[in-house]
């Protein structure tokens, strides 16, 4: 039985009761933004028992937790290396994921390969775990490709820059696979700011109406560039979804085990005809919005320190250390794995062949057509104006 609702606002309390669904954590009774979260491992590493969600992660022993830790350490290293490459002029831009490792790894590791992912621009950890080559993660940010991977090879849609647009694609794809009778599921990632966009709200309408097998995974990293989440929503973001008829859960996004459990629950619901679920993973963007941003201009340094104490990697390290499952050779192995991926990333970035100007026409339409060919011809003639004169020709042979 859920504890009685807290808080002085009776209107909100009524809403809360209607929000209650089987997937929702029983402790999530308040409406304040700091209401309790589903948490299975506390920041100090202590395991918290949870009757509803423990059965979903029964298979995750120390070895599996070590794997999750390794994933998080590797994507943190990828992120640091890419940030350095941008600072060294090798990338035009990079959107760091520092601090959001548990949200990305806990959710992506709950998927099966045939599920389909619709990401934003920040899910580079998700992309890596879907099987995208490390150097390919950089292509878009080096201006080298419009889409750096074949979406159908890794079941991952291209990087989406338009805030929230991918949620509509996810709803449509989910409706499609449901009509085909598949038991695959779809997950779409977006931020706290994106929940104020029309696209995300429209996607929730369609997904709810058609009971599409979609997991709406919101990484509430507390900021939408320089806008704090407190300005974005007056209630916890998770409370928005039930208004559409979509059950939601608020999970500690820095607890990889809790994120895994919540995502598994949502995927199971999707696969078995239960329709969409909304997950608010409460986490924190520890770096800038992108490498073009300077968060010291708008956020308090103390806030960053508070969140550093809730670091997603340290809590797993503390948990495993207390259990005697974080030996030195494991630490060394993880560091080596992270260094190897970073070296490949760097070499692949610097050695990446430049795209040719005419490549821009290759992926505009599935099939070429007269109008496009005409434009390509114009561009070819334009480029020819800059061609080096050939020896022996009237223009360049010279007497
Ligand atoms: C439709 C649209 N409007 C505005 C922007 C500019 N923009 C880029 S990122 C961003 C903030 C997004 O914040 P959030 O959804 O919380 O995601 P986060 O970047 O924190 O992961 C905005 C407004 C955009 N890319 N697309
Ligand atoms: Mg955000």
- Identify the CATH number of the domain in which residue 293 sits: 3.40.50.970
Q: 395 with 250, same domain?
A: no
pLDDT at 3: 43
355 falls within a domain = no
5 falls within a domain = no
Q: 295 with 166, same domain?
A: yes
d(CA 65, CA 47): 12
Nearest Cα residue to atom 19 of ligand 1:
224
Closest ligand 1 atom to the C-alpha of 163? 26
- Indicate if 369 belongs to the active site: no
* 217 C-alpha to ligand 1 centroid (Å): 15
* 229 C-alpha to ligand 2 centroid (Å): 7
pLDDT at 34: 59
The three-state secondary structure class of 366 is coil
21 CB-contact burial (10 Å; exposed 0-12 / middle 13-18 / buried 19+):
middle
342 falls within a domain = yes
Mutational pocket test of ligand 1: of 79, 163, 203, the residue with most ligand atoms within 8 Å of the beta carbon: 163
295 falls within a domain = yes
Q: 283 with 388, same domain?
A: no
d(CA 194, CA 206): 17
Last residue of a domain, one of 310, 325, 350: 350
User: Could you tell me if the CB of 193 is within 6 A of ligand 1?
Assistant: yes
- Indicate if 289 belongs to the active site: yes
- Sort strands 186-191 and 116-118 into parallel, antiparallel or unpaired: parallel
pLDDT at 392: 62
Helix residue ranges, H only, the chain? 10-19, 62-87, 101-108, 124-130, 151-154, 165-179, 198-209, 229-232, 256-271, 301-308, 312-322, 328-350, 370-384
Q: 19 with 59, same domain?
A: yes
**Tens-of-pLDDT digits for all 399 residues of the chain?**
344 434 333 333 333 323 333 343 333 333 344 577 999 999 999 999 999 999 999 999 999 999 999 999 999 999 999 999 999 999 999 999 999 999 999 999 999 999 999 999 999 999 999 999 999 999 999 999 888 999 999 999 999 999 999 999 999 999 999 999 999 999 999 999 999 999 999 999 999 999 999 999 999 999 999 999 999 899 999 999 999 999 999 999 999 999 999 999 999 999 999 999 999 999 999 999 999 999 999 999 999 999 999 999 999 999 999 999 999 999 999 999 999 999 999 999 999 999 999 988 988 888 989 999 999 999 999 999 998 877 665 544 333
260 falls within a domain = yes
4 falls within a domain = no
181 falls within a domain = yes
Q: 337 with 394, same domain?
A: no
Buried/exposed code over 201-214 (b: 16+ C-beta within 10 A; e: otherwise): bebbebbbebbbbb
* Residue 222 backbone zone (phi > 0: left; psi -120 to 50: alpha; other: beta): left
pLDDT at 390: 72
Q: 370 with 339, same domain?
A: no
pLDDT at 366: 86
Q: 225 with 374, same domain?
A: no
d(CA 190, CA 219): 6
d(CA 17, CA 245): 13
Expressed as residue numbers, the domain containing 390 is 362-399
Nearest Cα residue to atom 11 of ligand 1:
224
Inter-residue contact 146 to 165 (CB < 8 Å): no
Q: How many residues does the chain have?
A: 399
Q: 20 with 92, same domain?
A: yes
Inter-residue contact 278 to 24 (CB < 8 Å): no
d(CA 352, CA 348): 6
- Residue 379, Cβ neighbours under 10 Å: how many? 14
- Residue 137, Cβ neighbours under 10 Å: how many? 24
52 falls within a domain = yes
Closest ligand 1 atom to the C-alpha of 122? 21
Q: 285 with 388, same domain?
A: no
- Residue 11, Cβ neighbours under 10 Å: how many? 8
**Phi and psi torsions of 197, nearest 5°:** -80, 150
User: Could you tell me if the CB of 191 is within 6 A of ligand 1?
Assistant: yes
The total domain count for the chain is 2
Q: 306 with 375, same domain?
A: no
Q: 346 with 378, same domain?
A: no
Q: 166 with 233, same domain?
A: yes
d(CA 186, CA 206): 14
Largest CA distance in the chain: 96
């Amino acid at each position: 039985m859920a504890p009685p609702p807290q808080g002085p606002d009776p209107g909100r309390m009524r809403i809360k009761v209607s929000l209650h669904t089987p997937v929702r954590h029983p402790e999530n009774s308040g409406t304040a933004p700091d209401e309790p979260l589903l948490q299975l491992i506390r920041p100090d590493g202590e395991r918290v028992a949870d009757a509803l969600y423990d059965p979903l992660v029964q298979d995750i022993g120390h070895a599996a937790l070590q794997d999750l830790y390794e994933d998080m350490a590797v994507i943190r290293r990828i992120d640091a290396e890419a940030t350095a490459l941008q600072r060294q002029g090798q990338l035009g831009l990079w959107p760091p994921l520092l601090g959001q490792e548990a949200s990305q790894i806990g959710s992506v590791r709950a998927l099966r390969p045939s599920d389909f992912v619709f990401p934003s621009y920040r899910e580079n950890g998700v992309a890596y775990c879907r099987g995208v080559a490390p150097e390919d993660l950089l292509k878009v940010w080096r201006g080298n490709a419009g889409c750096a991977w074949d979406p159908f090879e890794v079941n991952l849609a291209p990087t989406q820059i338009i805030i929230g647009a991918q949620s509509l694609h996810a709803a449509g794809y989910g409706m499609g696979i449901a009509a085909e009778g598949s038991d695959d599921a779809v997950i779409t990632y977006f931020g706290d700011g994106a929940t104020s966009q029309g696209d995300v709200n429209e996607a929730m309408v369609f997904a709810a109406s058609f009971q599409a097998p979609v997991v709406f995974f919101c990484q509430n990293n507390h900021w939408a560039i320089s806008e704090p989440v407190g300005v974005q929503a007056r209630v916890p973001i998770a409370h928005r979804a039930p208004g559409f008829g979509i059950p939601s859960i608020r999970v500690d996004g820095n607890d990889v085990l809790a994120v895994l459990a919540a995502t598994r629950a949502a995927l199971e619901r999707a696969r078995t005809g239960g329709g969409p679920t909304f997950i608010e993973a409460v986490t924190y963007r520890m770096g800038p919005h992108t490498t073009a941003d300077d968060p010291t201009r708008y956020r308090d340094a103390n806030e960053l320190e508070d969140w550093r104490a809730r670091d997603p990697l340290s809590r797993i390290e503390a948990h495993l250390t207390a259990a005697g499952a974080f030996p030195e050779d494991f630490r060394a192995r993880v560091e080596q794995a992270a260094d190897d991926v970073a070296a490949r990333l760097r070499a692949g970035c610097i050695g990446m062949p430049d795209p040719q100007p005419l490549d821009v026409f290759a992926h505009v339409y599935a099939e070429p057509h007269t109008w496009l060919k005409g434009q390509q011809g114009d561009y070819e003639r334009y480029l020819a104006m800059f061609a080096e004169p050939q020896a022996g020709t009237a223009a360049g042979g010279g007497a």
